Structure 1
Amino acid sequence: MPKAITVPAIKAMAANGEKFTMLTAYDATFSSLLSGLGVETLLIGDSLGMVVQGQESTLPVSVDEMVYHVQAVARGNKGALLVADMPFNSYGTVEQCLDTAGKLMQAGAHMVKLEGGAWLCESVTAMSRMGIPSCVHMGLTPQSVNKFGGYKVQGREDDAAKAMINEAVAVAEAGADFILLECVPSDLGKAITEAVPVPVIGIGAGNDTDGQVLVCYDMLGLTQHRLPKFVKNYMQVHGNYEAAVTAYIQEVKAKTFPSKEHGFE
């Protein structure tokens, strides 16, 4: 059994300039395969609503369903850090946030991820006080798709970019352990990574973040929908899952993925 990856270990990697990888996993089989190949962090994402359940968005996913999938991934895990999404409408107050986070941690998660900005600061501090590591998801937050009017790049305007930088600093100061940026201009991804003292994970956020994440079904070509711009289909090039995942890890660490074609201006 390989040595388990911890939150401090990821922070040390980022501080030393070593890129780290994250892929989604929703069951014991994928968890075992991906962690066994060396993916440092696995995300049990509410994206399971779309890729596993066939929903049109992440919104229908419940806390109980997330608990079920976290338990499955934890059983198959071979040392990766497990990050679990807090589903839609499950962390609106500090009390509700602590309740949801507690259930996910008891199911086997090592960290919880929640979508938002500076309004989460009180909840992030409360979780930190209770020993619950957190990752704040900013930029394109899929749970707000109806508010955004679709899946659109965020932070392109100067005011929006400055606000996002300020909010990222605020949540980090409040106790967030990681920040995840989705679908923001590459320059903004770099600016936020430089502005905060915690690791930043990118998905469609350029090549200057500390880590990268993709949905495993997307990067293995196991999807029926059109792949987003920020995805590279590794299976198409490498032919089998072991070679595909290994190539993803190597390219993230060598800083050849994502390339400019996978980012936004």
Structure 2
Amino acid sequence: MDIRKILRKNPDHKITMLTCYDFPTARALDASDLDIVFVGDSVGTNILGYRSELEVTLDDMVHHLKAVRKGVTRKALMVDLPYMTYTDREIGVRNSRVMRDKGADIVKLEGGKDIAEIVSAIAREGIPVMGHLGFQPQIARGAKRAVVGALSGEAIQVYEDAVALEQAGACGIVLECVPEDVAKAVTERLSVPTIGIGSGKFTDGQVLVAPDVLGWFNMPFRFVRRYDEFYERTIRAANRFVAEVTSAEYPQRNHGFRIKADQFEAFVSAITSPRLLKVRRDEDADRGNEGGAVIRGCE
């Protein structure tokens, strides 16, 4: 797969990416028009019930990466390196190799100039690296999502970090919760693409979290557009199942399997024969002599 072709700046094509954490969703996204499927560390709060991304481990990410990889055969697959798994060059390269070997096409790291050497080392291994600037959940350490770059000093920092990541060999940069004008200015000055989330329409692409897009949660962030209502649809489907089972509408005969009449007759004859009943009574008596009551079906 030519990652450079997918991640090239093209005014006529916006790069699109959604998160994914499981095999069924991976199959669906692989059949869609998306460019990139992304196993994000947001798996922690969206799937695993963790309080923040800081609880996500490398093993968690590998587990979900492997599941998604089985469903993704046509799209580029990106994965997050989780918190504290790229604290220096050696550790970053080692864990990036793990992700590559488990099926990732791209690894993503949070940070700016402070991780430029780590990004460079991973890129020299031939592993495509995506940067992540603006609001950074790992660095924010559980703080609420906030805009980064609304002050001139912050905006300058975002730009300088973006340039540093590009020079280090990053193949692209995610910009999260950066003011639209700032994201536009940064995008225009980079040769690698920017992919925005909550950063306006002028980035080279857009990424969102799939459970937000699908409507699994009631309170998505203001930058999210919900395209479906999976939470409500799941409740309706479950309630319909309960109602049909209760009313004996489900299952119907066509949902089951059949036994030929002669075979069923032989079966009934066997289980009701006096000889078989005597054998079972004798077995029950023997068990009773050994102590303890026998509950049929729980032996």
TM tier relative to shorter chain: 0.7 to 0.9
Among 114, 119, 128, the alignment partner of 1:133 is: 128
Shift of 1:145: 2.4
Using the TM superposition, give the Cα deviation of residue 29 of structure 1 relative to its aligned residue in structure 2, in angstroms.
0.9
Indicate conservation of the 8 Å contact 2:4/2:171, yes or no. Answer: no
Equivalent position of 1:67 in the other structure: 62
Say yes or no: does 1:120 pair with 2:120: no
**CA-CA distance at 1:16 after TM superposition:** 4.6
* TM value normalised by structure 2: 0.75
- Provide runs of 4+ in structure 1 moved above 4 Å: none
Post-superposition Cα deviations, 1:189-211, rounded to whole Å, max 9, x if no partner, equal: 10111111101100001000111
Spell out the pairing of 1:251-262 with structure 2 (5 A cutoff): none
CA distance in 2, matches of 1:144, 1:178: 19
Q: CA separation in 2, counterparts of 1:72 and 1:131?
A: 24
* Residue 166 of structure 1: how far off its partner (Å): 1.1
Letter in 1 for 2:36: T
Report the Cα offset of residue 150 of structure 1. 2.3
1:229 to 222, 225, 233: 222
- TM-fit CA distance, 1:17: 3.3
SS of aligned partner of 1:173:
helix
Q: State the partner residue of 2:20.
A: 25
Equivalence for 2:77? 82
| Separation in structure 2 between the aligned mates of residue 25 and residue 146 of structure 1, nearest angstrom | 22
Displacement after TM superposition at 1:15 (Å): 3.1
Paired with 1:89 and 1:208, the residues of 2 have a C-alpha distance of 32
The secondary structure found in structure 2 opposite 1:66 is helix
Shift of 1:162: 0.9
* Percent of residue pairs identical: 38
For residues 122 and 17 of structure 1, the distance between their equivalents in structure 2, rounded to whole angstroms, comes to 33
Cα distance in 2 for residues equivalent to 1:152 and 1:162:
17
Unpaired segments ≥5 residues, structure 2: 234-299
**1:1-265 residue pairs with structure 2 within 5 A?**
6-12=2-8, 14-146=9-141, 149-224=143-218, 226-236=219-229
Q: Distance in 2 between matches of 1:17 and 1:56?
A: 39
Letter in 2 for 1:9: K
Question: Residue type matched to 2:140 in 1?
Answer: V
Q: Distance in 2 between matches of 1:122 and 1:104?
A: 19
Distance in 1 separating the partners of 2:12 and 2:116: 27
Note the residue ranges of structure 1 that are not aligned, 5 or more in a row.
241-265
Structure-1-length-normalised TM-score: 0.84
CA distance in 1 between partners of 2:157 and 2:216 (Å)? 36
Q: Which amino acid aligns with 1:62?
A: T
Query: What's 1:246 paired with?
Result: none
When Rg is computed on C-alpha atoms for both structures, the one with the higher figure is 2
> How much is the aligned-residue C-alpha RMSD, in angstroms?
1.7
Letter in 2 for 1:64: D
